[in-house]
Structure 1
Amino acid sequence: MSTLAETVSDSVVITRRNLIKVKRVPDLIVFATLSPIMFVVLFRYVFGGAINLPPGITYAEFLLPGIFAQTVVFGSTITGASIADDLQKGLIDRFRSLPMSRSAVLIGRTVADLGLNLISIVVMAVTGLLVGWRINSSVVEAIGGFVILLVFAYAISWLMAMVGLLVRTPEVVNNASFIVIFPITFVANTFVPLESFPAVLRGFAEWNPVSTVTQAARELFGNIPAGMPEPDAWSLQNPVLYTLLWAVAILAVFVPLSVRAYLRTASR
């Protein structure tokens, strides 16, 4: 049984290894950042003029928090694909032969992917500023907006780690993730107001954690105009709390399940 200090030390080594891999394969960074830039530009200039918003807010200010939320959720799928790739290439078997903490492989992977999500957010923020997005809140609140996005992304990374350990091929992980995540990020308030949704979809969207992390980011960035009616659902009235509850629940379930699945997989 590894001590906490050993687990932290081993996790740092694995995180560094994964970040060095990104440095040596710059395609990962290029494609991880091109996609959100494309979404920002397309939605801002192609769909922005067709979407009605309350007075006092531009579509760029409405859009960017939604793009942030969608990107960090999709970015977290890298965790599952990378773990499946390491399994397929036999790298996990090499880790098994080393005197290291068993959970360090998963911790190092998820922390490294959190770093990739941070890079994507920075690139999107710069792009957003260029197309008209503005932060209308304090520095502390703005930092809180980015933190809530990254906390939610980190939780999703552990969920995807479980998927990668079960599926074990990166192609299937990517396809399965897209089928699930794509509708979840669109049946939300990411790109259009919920008032335009049919009743059934609106009920789902109001309790969808992607909607609440988007709402939380909008509030913390000051991208909700004064005088706008308060949402009906408790989840959207308390988006920061609801999002954190989801993140804690996901971590509480999938951290131990993923570590257990890793140990079973590595012992085969």
Structure 2
Amino acid sequence: MDRAALAPVIARTPLARLRWAAADGWTVTLRGLTHWVREPGTLIGSLAFPVMMVLMFGYFFGGAMQVPGGGNYREFLVPGMFVMTMVFGMGETVTAVAADKNRGVTSRFRTMPMAPSAVVVGRAVTDMLSSLLALAVLFATGLAIGWDAHGTLGETTLAVGLLLLLRFALVWAGIYLGLLMKGPEGITMVQTLEFPIGFLTSAFVAPSTMPGWLGTIAEWNPLSSTVLAVRELFGNPGFGGDSWIAQHALLMAVVWPVILCAVFFPLSVRRFRNLTS
């Protein structure tokens, strides 16, 4: 048998290479979706955790919380939990990427006749689909406990778009960090840091209730801009503020993720290309 006839045909034209990359990226995405079916516990756990957070903060602590300008604390909380769910997803990205790298799966992919972008693109698509599912579950939970989106359909759609834009940026941060990790200790450190980074925002309490210097840090946390922007778009209480960053939350909810993408996307691509093991 002629071995040349069995060799894969490498795309040459830009359009053919794009189709090749899309097909290979979708194949890797299907691999991730297959893991959901074969290991549903991981997916269920990732969906249940933010729901439990909403219920705990909404019912255990909600009665003691004061919303700036008045209003229902659960309506204040739920948009913040949307953002926190996007943040928690980064830990899942880091874990999945690091596991593939450390088990040699990524190196195996790199020896195969597939588009170089397929591995990272497939991971990104899988995680974005996971985030859409998590948002749907959290939306249903919010509606069940009394939260509602009071804005127009366009404003609600824009709010969801901002949440997914933030998640997209965090996907690339997670891919890069996952490619750096060499052991479970590093993964645990990243997952642990999600909590102080996420809590040092306006997601759970208003920065005005914090000491001055800490409130300023919380306001300038990139996550806070998305929190404030989606609260405003959903028509929920607590989106106001006197500082420049609070007054321009909608703008910065776009700028911060774009900056994160500009930093971590090229770092992820370069790190993937330079992997030696």
Give 2:64's aligned residue.
50
User: C-alpha deviations, 1:157-212, integer Å up to 9, x for none?
Assistant: 1111111111133x334312133221111111101111110011111011111111
- Alpha-carbon offset, residue 91 of structure 1: 1.0
CA distance in 2, matches of 1:13, 1:172: 30
- 2:124 equivalent among 91, 110, 117: 110
Give 1:150's aligned residue.
164
CA distance in 1, matches of 2:208, 2:62: 16
Question: Cα distance 1:154–1:172, how it changes in 2: closer, same or farther (>3 A)?
Answer: farther
Give 1:35's aligned residue.
49
- Alpha-carbon offset, residue 55 of structure 1: 5.1
After superposition, the CA RMSD in angstroms is: 1.7
Give 1:185's aligned residue.
198
Paired residues for 1:187-226 under 5 Å: 187-224=200-237
CA distance in 2, matches of 1:43, 1:128: 12
Q: Which amino acid aligns with 2:244?
A: W
Question: % of aligned pairs identical?
Answer: 36
- Alpha-carbon offset, residue 107 of structure 1: 1.1
CA distance in 1, matches of 2:133, 2:154: 20
Check the 8 A contact 2:149/2:235 in 1, yes or no: yes
Question: Cα distance 1:172–1:118, how it changes in 2: closer, same or farther (>3 A)?
Answer: farther
CA distance in 2, matches of 1:153, 1:232: 27
Check the 8 A contact 2:172/2:265 in 1, yes or no: yes
Give 2:265's aligned residue.
255
Query: SS of the residue aligned with 1:53?
Result: coil
Q: Which amino acid aligns with 1:233?
A: S
- Alpha-carbon offset, residue 233 of structure 1: 2.2
- Alpha-carbon offset, residue 102 of structure 1: 1.3
Give 1:141's aligned residue.
155
Check the 8 A contact 1:60/1:133 in 2, yes or no: yes
- Alpha-carbon offset, residue 9 of structure 1: 2.1
Check the 8 A contact 2:80/2:227 in 1, yes or no: yes
- Alpha-carbon offset, residue 217 of structure 1: 1.0
Check the 8 A contact 1:85/1:168 in 2, yes or no: no
Superposition TM-score, scaled by structure 2 size: 0.90
Give 2:249's aligned residue.
239
Superposition TM-score, scaled by structure 1 size: 0.93
CA distance in 1, matches of 2:138, 2:165: 17
Q: Which amino acid aligns with 1:216?
A: A
CA distance in 1, matches of 2:180, 2:27: 25
Query: SS of the residue aligned with 2:274?
Result: helix
1:176 lines up with 2:189 in the alignment: yes
CA distance in 1, matches of 2:270, 2:52: 38
CA distance in 2, matches of 1:148, 1:139: 14
Check the 8 A contact 2:24/2:118 in 1, yes or no: yes
- Alpha-carbon offset, residue 57 of structure 1: 2.1
Query: SS of the residue aligned with 1:144?
Result: helix
Check the 8 A contact 2:181/2:187 in 1, yes or no: no
Question: Cα distance 1:238–1:77, how it changes in 2: closer, same or farther (>3 A)?
Answer: same
- Alpha-carbon offset, residue 56 of structure 1: 5.3
CA distance in 2, matches of 1:122, 1:147: 13
Check the 8 A contact 1:159/1:250 in 2, yes or no: yes
Alignment gaps of 5+ in structure 1? none
Q: Which amino acid aligns with 1:47?
A: F
1:5 lines up with 2:19 in the alignment: yes
Check the 8 A contact 1:83/1:168 in 2, yes or no: no
Question: Cα distance 1:199–1:216, how it changes in 2: closer, same or farther (>3 A)?
Answer: same
Query: SS of the residue aligned with 1:232?
Result: coil
Q: Which amino acid aligns with 2:167?
A: A
CA distance in 2, matches of 1:242, 1:9: 34
Check the 8 A contact 1:77/1:157 in 2, yes or no: no
